[in-house]
Structure 1
Amino acid sequence: MFSFPRLILFIFHITIISILSVLHFKPLHAEPYGMAGCGLGSMVPVWKNDIGQILAATTNISFSSQTFGITSGTSNCTNDGIVKKEMAQEVFIAYNEAPLELETTKGSGERIRAMATLLGCPTHASELGKLMKENHSYLFAKSKLETEIRSKEILTRIKTQIASDKTLSLVCSH
């Protein structure tokens, strides 16, 4: 079934995952996981840096957990293979924060249109851009938070502003 080198690699992966799971006292939960994608590797919270993303991707490939997660809708995956909606929104903000902030000062741009699509109101991108421009200093208030936490904070602020807007609160499914 397994060749000897593959068996050793399999045992190594199981050992590393077990050790990391035991040493980490926080419950495992979904957080932004970066470019490695959904799957078992995305569930290990300590794998947030570049090396961790390589380990996450290797774990996903070795155990076919990404394929299983996509087909079953588990491990940060949805059953259609797309990351959960809010996770996609947070990841988008994390990787596009500076250009999105710049476009917000103008009230329009490619990233604002993409954000409108992610929030479920692609036909109202101009209204979203106007709202973001009016609330720019609130949405992008400077803080020394980590990228993942900051992207959640910005997303929460955007959604709060959408909820208080008569038009956008009705059309955006955020």
Structure 2
Amino acid sequence: MRQHLWMICASLALVTASSAMADNFGMAGCGLGSMVLQSNGKEQIFVGTTNGTSASQTFGITSGTSNCKDDAATVAAMYISVNQEALKRDIARGNGESISGLASILNCSDSDALGTSLQRNFGGIFQNTISDSKEVAVQIRQSVYSDTTLASSCKAI
């Protein structure tokens, strides 16, 4: 029993060191358990138990720690959904506060270039009068990817 406990502790120490900087997690979600056990196999039972008993998942989601952070694509999609009408107006003009905000989320070094590119692709981004925010987000992403300058200057896309 003593040897078994020692091996578990040693394994956890080794896994923690390698997975502490990892951004991925399995089906049990983020939290302390995802930092201790990186595998996506049956170990997810232990990850979920660790997250549940330590309450680290709730804290991590609230504070954005313990692997509990949204990626830029998710944040951008939420931003586009909330600011769709303002983005539509600003993209039609080629500049504005909502484009600057989107450029910040996407970590674009030049928000003016982003505005110009999105303005050029306005018809493809807003294909009809009632556009779904998810489709708008996809079209904006494709617009950025298709512009070689933006694709290299927007680090979070």
TM-score range, shorter chain: 0.5 to 0.7
Partner of 1:134: 120
Give the secondary structure class of the aligned counterpart of 1:116.
helix
Which of 90, 107, 124 aligns to 1:120? It is 107
Question: Which structure: larger Rg?
Answer: 2
Q: Does residue 72 of structure 1 match 2:66?
A: yes
What letter is aligned with 2:125? Answer: L
What letter is aligned with 2:127? Answer: A
Which of 157, 161, 165 aligns to 2:147? It is 165
Kindly tell me: are residues 66 and 140 of structure 1, through their superposed partners in 2, closer, same or farther at Cα, counting changes over 3 Å?
Answer: farther
Give the secondary structure class of the aligned counterpart of 2:128.
coil
Give the secondary structure class of the aligned counterpart of 1:120.
coil
Q: In percent, how many aligned pairs have the same letter?
A: 28
- The answer to whether the 8 A contact 2:144-2:151 is kept is yes
What letter is aligned with 2:92? Answer: T
What letter is aligned with 1:113? Answer: S
Equivalents in 2 of 1:134, 1:168: separation in Å?
13
Equivalents in 2 of 1:101, 1:64: separation in Å?
39
Kindly tell me: are residues 166 and 64 of structure 1, through their superposed partners in 2, closer, same or farther at Cα, counting changes over 3 Å?
Answer: closer
Q: TM-score, normalised by structure 2?
A: 0.57
- Counting matched residue pairs gives 105
Q: Does residue 87 of structure 1 match 2:74?
A: yes
- The answer to whether the 8 A contact 2:106-2:154 is kept is yes
Give the secondary structure class of the aligned counterpart of 1:101.
helix
Displacement of 1:171 in angstroms is 1.0
Map 1:4-15; keep pairs closer than 5 Å: none
Q: TM-score, normalised by structure 1?
A: 0.52
